[in-house]
Amino acid sequence: MLIRQRTLLIALAVVACVATLRLAVAAPSQQAAPTCAWERLSSGGRASQNAMVRVPGVGALTFGGVDLGNKTVSSDVRRFDRAANSWQVLAVGGSGPGKRSEPAAVLRGLASNPEFVTYGGVDSLPKGGGTFTWQSPLLGAGAAGQGPLDALAANSVQESTHRLVADAAAPSWQGIGAAGQAPRTDHSAVWDPVADAMIVFGGRTDEDAQSVTDELKRLTLGDSPAWQALTPAGRRPSKRFGHSAVYDGAASRMVVFGGTSDWKKGLDDVWVLELGGGWDKAVWKELKPTGTGPSGRFDHAAAYLPGIGWMIVFGGSPDGSRELSDIYALDLVATAPKWIKLNPTGQKPPALMGLAAIGLDDGTSALLQGGQNGEDAASQTYRLACTAGAVPTATTGPITDTPVPMDTSTVVPSTDTPTPVPPTPPRWTPEPPTATVPPSETPTTAPSATATTAPRPMIYLPRLAKNDA
């Protein structure tokens, strides 16, 4: 009798284990929905088409841009102090780039004294302080002919490269002289920490849309800076400008999204430049992310969040006549990269194009500043804080299916000891904060732009060639 009772107890225990296992398998294994939130911060300068880099332990630096209110190109360097939530215009010495719009910039993330490196851009607007929409084909006025648009000469596109120590108490510009420099504007750039080089892709060599290029080159930033061009084997991205690029350090690759070749139609493709084998063995590959991604666009904001492996894409314009306000995340950690449509809580930015964006020290949030909203340049600053969500843990609950009986006559207690699994190392570790540098001047603020309620013409539009119409 005792043996029969023990056999029955064993059988019941096995059935219970099977039911539990069946329930665990049925539990969801996908990630929970990602969550993001907008935070409105102190306003900075009114600027569109400016450059911005992260300053570790401090916040950010911005440079240049167009103020559509007074129709001028700026040479200002501004620093954002994240702890104080304030912007300051810095007094920068040395011989710098001068006025710039549409430059590319990277943070040369050295262990000490990180550097702000900027290359190219446009130095002026048409004479008389006009805007580029005069006689623009996008306004139905026909091709650009003789008039204010022709005052913007081709030599306004610059080729110089400069740097300054990003967190210096007394910042000063220093020119970087290197053979092979060429005029470039509306291009993208990332810093490759392995090669200590700025990698540049695309852009224009002139204010004419026909000068669009697909050139890939890099500037090594060691003791003897030098430009090197490269044409990787295989298919590569089409010629474009107004696109975005970020560096995915976990996979040693540059990720490129969107852009345009004519100011009339935005692109929506994604490309990666694989750099794991070094510069000479770099390979272009087109990504085909799953999910519904952003529509074709250019002059959008993009930032990489290494803590969760996301490339954030916000705003931009699909055709040069209106701005967008939607936001997406490209999940680069997933086995198959995928687009995620985000719906952050909090006070969101208006529809914007031509704004700047960077990832912050925490690795899970981005800073966005400035941009163009209709006929006005914006001054707002926003922080987007995100989490990718957690994988749910299986929980117990009612068993709805009938467990299959098992023959317990051959059940033998296991003597195996589970092999411990070492924890997976994090894909990214936040950088330790550095000392905050006191501001050199008082912050300046400017009126905020309002959201666009209807499609409006793009104001900062370089002239199109006569046969671009």
Query: What does the block give as tokens for 242?
Result: 């107004």
Question: What is the per-residue pLDDT for 443?
Answer: 37
Distance CA 399, CA 27 (A): 12
Mean pLDDT of 458-466: 35
- Position 126: which residue type? P
User: pTM score, two decimals?
Assistant: 0.77
Closest to 186 (Cα-Cα) out of 151, 154, 212: 212
Question: What is the per-residue pLDDT for 376?
Answer: 76
Residue 160 has pLDDT above 80, yes or no: yes
Residue 133 has pLDDT above 70, yes or no: no
Name the pLDDT band for 111 (thresholds 50, 70, 90). confident
Which range is most confident: 17-21, 34-38, 430-434? Answer: 34-38
Mean pLDDT of 318-340: 96
Check residues 174 and 430 and name the one with the higher pLDDT: 174
Residue 122: exposure state from Cβ atoms within 10 A (0-12, 13-18, ≥19): buried
Sign (positive/negative) of CA torsion 59, 64, 70, 71? Answer: negative
Give the range among 23-37, 70-84, 224-238, 241-255 with minimum mean pLDDT: 23-37
Mean pLDDT of 135-156: 36
Name the pLDDT band for 167 (thresholds 50, 70, 90). confident
Mean pLDDT of 317-345: 96
CATH fold of 35-388+444-468, please? Neuraminidase (2.120.10)
Mean pLDDT of 156-172: 92
Residue 79 has pLDDT above 70, yes or no: yes
Question: What is the per-residue pLDDT for 455?
Answer: 36
Q: How far apart are the first and last CA of the chain?
A: 96
Mean pLDDT of 199-225: 95
DSSP bridge pairs for 248: 253
Question: What is the per-residue pLDDT for 134?
Answer: 27
Question: What is the per-residue pLDDT for 234?
Answer: 83
Question: What is the per-residue pLDDT for 128?
Answer: 39
Question: What is the per-residue pLDDT for 394?
Answer: 42
Question: What is the per-residue pLDDT for 465?
Answer: 34
Question: What is the per-residue pLDDT for 126?
Answer: 53
Residue 38 has pLDDT above 50, yes or no: yes
Mean pLDDT of 342-360: 97
Mean pLDDT of 403-417: 38
Residue with tokens 């051959």: 410
Question: What is the per-residue pLDDT for 388?
Answer: 84
Residue 110 has pLDDT above 60, yes or no: yes
Check residues 233 and 312 and name the one with the higher pLDDT: 312
* Average pLDDT for the chain: 78
Give the range among 22-31, 134-143, 355-364, 439-448 with minimum mean pLDDT: 134-143
Residue 414: exposure state from Cβ atoms within 10 A (0-12, 13-18, ≥19): exposed
Question: What is the per-residue pLDDT for 173?
Answer: 97
